[in-house]
Amino acid sequence: MMYCWAVDQLQTLISREAEVPEGRTLVDWCKFFRDEAAKYGDDRLNEIGGMDDNNQPLVVEIDETKYFHRKYHQRTWREGHWVFGVLREGRANVFWLK
């Protein structure tokens, strides 16, 4: 279930793949996954920036983009995903927001 949720599958597909009936249980699990992912991101946000070993401020570069696409053979746009990238001392972190 967690893998299906992480790759952004619809709940109907998650239900079929994990053999869990659609309904409250599936919704609760997906909410749990989302809450845990948010906690993980919140815990890691405190690690961005700060001071180096010489007590100098670290330079942090942040950029964002939104990925979206059209539905197949239609002119309507589907809602996309925001992606935030953080670069600090040559180490990159990427955050997906839904």
Pairing status of strand 81-88 against strand 60-67: antiparallel
Does residue 70 register a pLDDT over 70?
no
Contact 69, 80 (CB under 8 A): yes
Where in the chain are the domains? 1-46, 51-98
The answer to pTM > 0.75 is no
Does residue 98 register a pLDDT over 80?
no
- Is residue 22 very low, low, confident or very high in pLDDT (cuts 50, 70, 90)? confident
Q: Is 74 exposed, middle or buried (0-12, 13-18, 19+ CB in 10 A)?
A: exposed
Does residue 18 register a pLDDT over 80?
yes
Does residue 31 register a pLDDT over 70?
yes
Does residue 87 register a pLDDT over 80?
no
Kindly report the average pLDDT of the chain as a whole number.
78
